[in-house]
Amino acid sequence: MTASVPIPENLWMPSIVELTGCDKFDVGIGDGNIYLYTLTQQDLDDAMIIYYGDEETYIFTPCKNARKAIISRQTYAFISETYSPQAQQMFQALLTEASILGLANRIVYIQQLLDWAKTVVQENISVDDSIDAATTVAGINAIGIDLTPFEATDPHVTVKAAMEIPD
């Protein structure tokens, strides 16, 4: 038993697999069609009615969420490659100590890192907004994030320099 339908313009395969109850390994694509090898044609047709009847739920929302997750991972990786998680933790500890002891100059120094990280995250948020505004799967998938400008704005703060600021 094999069922098939033409590949939709806005294809989001995980939703089709979910709606049909098929295993992802029971699905094939070829000749402009999607083939489900363990499904009747009627069951696939019924699933596709639901799929097309609620594109927001079955196509756009999951596609947007997946794209935003990819962008978020890229952003986090960029920040973590620039300032390791260990360095970030040390900066947090030094900032806490500076706050407790009233070390204003150390706070100002470390604040540069926070300000920089916020600009990177703000770019991520802006890209997320663009993804939310996209109206096709191709449009969603075409949206990316360019983090290279933030290499030039990195304040290059160091744990050593922060520790050496007695205030």
Q: Quote the pLDDT of residue 114.
A: 97
Do 51 and 19 contact (CB within 8 A), yes or no?
Answer: yes
pLDDT average, residue stretch 28-53? 95
Summary mean pLDDT of the chain: 96
**Interstrand relation of 27-30 and 3-6 (parallel, antiparallel or unpaired):** unpaired
Q: Assess whether pLDDT exceeds 90 at residue 37.
A: yes
Q: Quote the pLDDT of residue 167.
A: 86
Main-chain phi, psi angles of 131, to 5 degrees = -65, -45
Q: Assess whether pLDDT exceeds 90 at residue 100.
A: yes
Q: In whole angstroms, give the CA distance from residue 93 to residue 88.
A: 9
Q: Quote the pLDDT of residue 141.
A: 95
pTM score of the predicted model: 0.84
Burial class (CB in 10 A: 0-12, 13-18, 19+), 43: middle
Token pair in block for residue 78? 């960029």
Under the banding of pLDDT at 50, 70 and 90, the label for residue 120 is very high
Do 130 and 66 contact (CB within 8 A), yes or no?
Answer: no
